[in-house]
Structure 1
Amino acid sequence: MNSQAEVTTGGIAQCTNVAAGERWRDPRAASQTLRTEGALLTTEFAVFAPHEVRDEAADARGEEVVAILEGEFDVDAAGEHYRLVAGEAILIPPREPRRFTCLGAKGVLYRAGTSV
């Protein structure tokens, strides 16, 4: 299978047809995101630099599941605050603001959600 993935540092990469097991992370990059978007579903792997914070407005996303793959995060969503570590996940309702703060040296999130 041919990959059409593009990785960007500090931004968002659009991709389709990423082969299973393909390495997409640049070990020199502190912060990067790999996102696939369809008509109804968006998935994303996000690598956070130490103490990096990412905010999203209330209307930016639909309902989504966020799983912590590596590290520890403070997650503020839907008026609530959570501290999550690797292996934990959260369901965020649609059209709610969200903030992710990496608390350690590095963090990796997996996000899957409905398109708004």
Structure 2
Amino acid sequence: MIKDALKFAFPVYGLASTIAEQYVDSNKNSREILNSNDEQKIKLELIRKKAETEILEMEAKIAQELAISKRIENASIVEIEEYYEGSGSGNIGLSAEEKSLKFGASGEGKKVTKRVYRFTGGQE
């Protein structure tokens, strides 16, 4: 009952709590399947678990963004800096022709990541 009241009063808590509850329930089910030693069930559980993990990651990102937006809404001063970039590539090549053999390698990488949030005060 208290959990339900907190979920209603604080929607972000509710989402995070729901994600945590799903994780705990899923973990219990997985343990039971692993203890059964049934290879087919274990393979199916692994596939299900991978899909579930991706879904939980997406839900956690949503909960994080909702929490940030709530803090932005309630803060009197907000400072945000975000930079994202991430790429990399590489190439190794070999070519042979009648009178020549060429070998080469190249690589490129970039990484810029910065995420700073500062929230000061609160609106009354």
Please report the TM-score for the alignment, with normalisation by the length of structure 1.
0.22
Greater helix proportion: 2
Please report the TM-score for the alignment, with normalisation by the length of structure 2.
0.21
Look at both structures and tell me which one has the larger radius of gyration over its CA atoms. 2
Question: Which gives a bigger RCO, structure 1 or 2 (Cα 8 Å, sep 6+)?
Answer: 1
Greater strand proportion: 1
